A = this chain, B = another copy of it.
Amino acid sequence: MDTGMKDFCFGVDVGGTTVKIGLFRIDGQLVDSFEIPTRKEEKGRYVLGDIADALTKKMQEKDIEKERVAGVGIGVPGPVLDDGTVNICVNIGWGVINVANELGALTGLPVKVGNDATVAALGEMWQGGGKGHDSMVLFTLGTGVGGGIILNGKPVNGSHGAGGEIGHIPVVMDETETCTCGKKGCLEQVASATGIVKEAKKILAKSGEPSALRTYENLSAKDIFDEAKTGDKLAQEAVEILGKYLGIAMADVAGVVDPEVFVIGGGVSKAGQYLIDAIEKNYRHYVFHASRDAKITLATLGNDAGMYGAAKLVIEK
C-alpha cells in the first residue's frame, strides 16, 4: 500500500461487545482512541456502517482530509483469508463477508483485514512485547487460548484462515472432557483462565491436603496464581500443569516456525514473571535444542494490541 503523502491511518479492533478504534500517525504514534458499541442485531449487519460513520466523524473532528489517510486496518474475531474475506464470525453474527470490499466501499479508503488474534500479535510486535523482532508468536491466555504468528513481519493467516489457532492443538492425550471446539485434549482446555480453574478443582477434589483455594466461592485464575505465589502447594500444582502444557505447545510451535520470541498476553498473563517462569522451564525442557534460546516475554499493550496491530496492517511495507 502506498503510504507516500499519507500522515494517518486507522486501526479498528472488532470485539463481541465494543469496537475499539485508534487514529494513528504513520510512524506508529497513537493520536486518539475511542470505542463504539458492536451492534450485533440482525446478524451484525450494522457493524461496518457504524464503523464507517465513526471514522468519518473522527476525520471531520480532527480536520483530516481523506487524502491524508493511508487506510483502515481491521481485526475481526474469525478466520480471515488473504483477500479480506471473513469466514463466519460467530461472536458478531456474520456469515461469509468480504470486509475489505464492504468497508472499503463505505469509507472510500483502502482496507486491510486480519484475524483479531493475529492482528494483536502484529500490534505486540510493532509497539509491544515483541518490539524489535520480526518473527514472533503470541499466546493469548484468556477465557480461551488464542494465538498469532508473525514471520518476517507478516501475519500467517493460513490457507483456511486458521493460522495460529494454537488454542486447539492437541496436547493432553488423556483428556476426558470435550473442548468447545468438539475435540478432546486441546491446549485451551488446560491453559486458559477457564482451564486452570477446572484443573485446580480436579486437584482439590482428589487431594486431602489443605489449601487456601478451598475457601474461594468463585475460584478464578487470578486466585490460583495469587495463592501459588504465596506458597499454596495445590495452587502451585495447578500452575505447574498450565506451565507444562504451554511449554509443550510452544515447543511444538518452535518445531514448525522457530520464532525469535514468544509473547504471552491475555488476562492470565497478569500473573507476570511467575507465569513466564512456569512456562519457560518446561519450554526449555521440551524444545529442540536449536530453538532453546527463544525469548519468552509478557505482552505490554493489553486490550490495545488489536487496535495497534490493525493499524500496522495498513502501514506494513
Residue numbers of A with Cβ under 8 A of B are 79, 87, 135, 149, 151, 156-166, 168-170, 173, 181-183, 185, 248, 251-260, 285-286, 288-291, 293-294
Contacts and interface: CB of A to CB of B under 8 A. Distances in A.
A263 to B, nearest CB: 14
Given A79-B290, A291-B160, A170 B257 contact: no
Nearest to A259: B159
A170 B256 contact: no
B256 A168 contact: no
Contact of A164 (B159, B160, B182, B256): B256
A260 B160 CA distance: 8
Contacts of A294: 159-160
Secondary structure class of chain A's binding surface, majority of residues = loop
Contact of A160 (B169, B285, B290): B290
Nearest to A158: B258
B79 A162 contact: no
B260 A162 contact: no
B252 A162 contact: no
Contact of A257 (B79, B158, B181, B248): B158
Given A169-B251, A182-B289, A288-B183, A159 B260 contact: yes
A117 to B, nearest CB: 12
Contact of A165 (B160, B168, B290): B290
Contacts of A289: 181-182
Given A160-B291, A288-B181, A256 B258 contact: no
A288 B291 CA distance: 25
A158 B185 CA distance: 27
A251 B286 CA distance: 18
A294 to B, nearest CB: 7
Q: Top 9 nearest A-B pairs by Cβ distance?
A: A158-B258, A169-B255, A162-B290, A168-B288, A162-B258, A159-B260, A256-B256, A252-B252, A163-B258
A288 B162 contact: yes
A289 B251 CA distance: 22
Nearest to A258: B158
A182 B287 CA distance: 10
Given A159-B260, A169-B251, 17 more contacts: A151-B151, A156-B256, A156-B258, A158-B257, A158-B291, A162-B288, A163-B257, A165-B255, A168-B288, A169-B252, A169-B256, A170-B251, A170-B252, A173-B248, A181-B288, A183-B286, A185-B286
B170 A286 contact: yes
A168 B259 contact: no
Contacts of A182: 289
Contacts of A161: 258, 290
A157 to B, nearest CB: 8
A203 to B, nearest CB: 18
Nearest to A255: B169
A159 B258 contact: yes
A73 B254 CA distance: 26
